[in-house]
Amino acid sequence: MTERKIFAGERLRRARAQAGLKQTTLAQRLAISPSYLNQIEADQRPLTAALLERLVAVLGVPQAYFADSEDARRESQLREDLADPLFRTRSHTPAELRALVRTAPAFADAFMELYRAYSAQAEQLAAPSAATPRFPYDEVRDWVQSRQNHFDRLDRAAETLFEANGFASATLREDLRRYLHDKHGITTIGASGLLGAGVFWRLTRASKRLYLAEDVAPESEIFWLAHVIGQIEQKTLIEKELRREGFSSPEALGLARIGLANYFAGALMLPYRRFHEAARVMRHDIQRLQHQFGASFEQVCHRLSTMQRPDLPGIPFYFVKTDIAGNILKRSSATRFQFAQFGGPCPLWNVYRAFAHPGEILVQFSRTPDDLTYLNIARTVGRGAGSYLARPRAVAVVLGCETRFAAQTVYGAGLNTSAPEAADPIGPGCRACERTTCRHRSVPPMGRALDMGTAERGVVPYRLKGG
């Protein structure tokens, strides 16, 4: 069976621009015609194996750079699924998994869907009182990932609304309150006691009143106002996006619907072209962007991870929000950065050091097992609980991009990204990480047999066969 063709026009254009090469110059170095290279960059022609090898050498990028992000996600997930003891009698090399993903992606997806159903049923049988299986969240997460966390129609609709009504970031809270009242007859009212009941806002359509929890940050109120506007005005567009996917359950459909309304809210707060230009000029300084747009640190980070408009792309970022126990609360990515399905994330990730330095921005240069290097920016977020007994929630976010883009950010200053040995060796989590000699490993990788010999003792109390 022939390999699935690789169309990597956008990644090739980015790599060429980073190398400071014109199209004609690169074509000469590759010994191909400029028109052929132009067709490849326009995704009209695929990359051949021979040309891929020459590109890697000329541009100085790892071969994985041109891998499809969906292929990378499938390969990572398949590796974890096949590591289940259910498949212990079979061995699967990375090359075999890569070949399966590239030649039969539909089969790989079907296998993973079947395995998720099996896992969910096993979980229910083990705990009959358990609630709904977790995989609706996984389904929506993978859908967002497949779209590179960018929904172009919703993004443009939010931007059009902002510009057409003359909204301004400095007065956006008042602008949105007035818009809801004038356009929809909805009056916004502050309400005490909502937060105590675990509610941020409540809309009563009969009386046309929107109750917002008091004593919250202005940027949170703006987001909720924008979310409600999205629910009311973008229902048709949201439902059209949802119908294109065909979710497997009402729970997944509902989660995706909320997610799209949230996406619209973020796009209305931080309209694409204005935000894109400000991010470029300010070199992605999150704090300066906060001040200009009246947004929170988390909101700016999340918005930066969505900037993938085809005709005006931003830096491809991944975004993760986690609590102090290592639970991933939110994650999305426009990069090939992979996350584990099972177990906790890597302890070497700087997002966990952020909890020891609340409010401080931590910058990290890291390398993943697929030999890609990343710039990671982490910080705790949230606000005080307002009461000793309220037990404030400890959460942190991390924003990351490949180090090829580090020079376009203020956070790349002073980092020696040309020295691979200086990078922290992080991974997707111990159960999915392929590194066998890491002294920070907490559990063995899934699917690897243990060497129970007693002739030596390593940095962890076991050895891996073949490691």
Distance, in Å, from the CA atom of 310 to the CA atom of 328, rounded to the nearest integer, reads: 29
Residue of 385 and 115 predicted with greater confidence? 115
Q: What is the mean pLDDT of residues 128-156?
A: 75
pLDDT band at 132 (very low <50, low <70, confident <90, very high): very low
What's the average model confidence in pLDDT over 289-312?
Answer: 94
Mean pLDDT of the residues in the chain: 83
The pLDDT of residue 462: 62
Max Cα–Cα distance, the chain, nearest Å: 78
**Are 304 and 279 in contact, with CB atoms under 8 Å apart?**
yes
CB 413 within 8 A of CB 441: no
Which pLDDT band holds residue 269 (cuts at 50, 70, 90)? very high
Range name among 130-134, 338-342, 370-374 with the lowest pLDDT average: 130-134
Q: Is the pLDDT of residue 111 over 60?
A: yes
* Res. 126: pLDDT tops 70: no
Residue 123 in this model has a pLDDT that exceeds 80: no
> Residue 197 carries which DSSP code?
G
**pLDDT (0 to 100) of residue 88:** 59
At residue 400's C-alpha, the angle toward residues 398 and 404, to 5°, is 160
The matching CATH number, chosen from 3.40.50, 1.10.3470, 3.30.450, 2.60.40, for 295-435 is 3.30.450
Give the model's pLDDT for residue 382. 76
Instruction: Please say if the pLDDT value at position 271 is more than 70.
Output: yes
Cα separation, 442 vs 458, in Å, equals 13
CATH 3.30.2320 for the 134-269 domain, yes or no: no
pLDDT at 227: 96
For residue 313, what is the enclosing H or E element?
Answer: strand 312-313
Say which range, 35-49, 90-104, 371-385, has the weakest mean pLDDT.
90-104
CB-facing half-sphere around the CA of 276: CA atoms within 13 A: 17
Query: What span, in angstroms and rounded, lies between the C-alpha atoms of 396 and 166?
Result: 34
32-50 per-position pLDDT tens digit: 999 999 888 887 888 887 8
Q: Using only C-alpha atoms, what is the Rg of the chain?
A: 24
| Alpha-carbon dihedral sign for residues 123, 127, 132, 134 | negative
Q: Residue range 75-79: average pLDDT?
A: 77
- Look at residue 129 in the predicted model and tell me its pLDDT: 42
pLDDT of residue 265: 97
Name the CA dihedral angle for 61, 55, 318, 276, rounded to a multiple of 10 degrees.
110
Domain boundaries, the chain: 9-66, 69-133, 134-269, 295-435, 438-467
Cα dihedral across residues 137, 142, 145, 149: positive or negative: negative
CA distance linking residue 347 with residue 428, whole number of Å: 10
> Tell me, what's the pLDDT at 379?
96
Residue 295 dihedral angles phi and psi, to the nearest 5°: -115, 170
Burial 351-378 (b: 16+ CB within 10 A, else e): bbebeeeeeeebbbbbbbbbebbbbbbb
86-90, 224-228, 320-324: range with highest mean pLDDT? 224-228
Rounded mean pLDDT, 3-12: 70
Closest CA to 379 of 410, 352, 401: 352
pLDDT interval class at 347 (50, 70, 90): confident
Distance CA 238, CA 151 (A): 10
Domain 9-66 in CATH: superfamily? Answer: lambda repressor-like DNA-binding domains (1.10.260.40)
Q: How far is it, in rounded angstroms, from Cα 320 to Cα 400?
A: 9
Would you place residue 28 in the very low, low, confident or very high pLDDT band (cuts 50, 70, 90)? very high
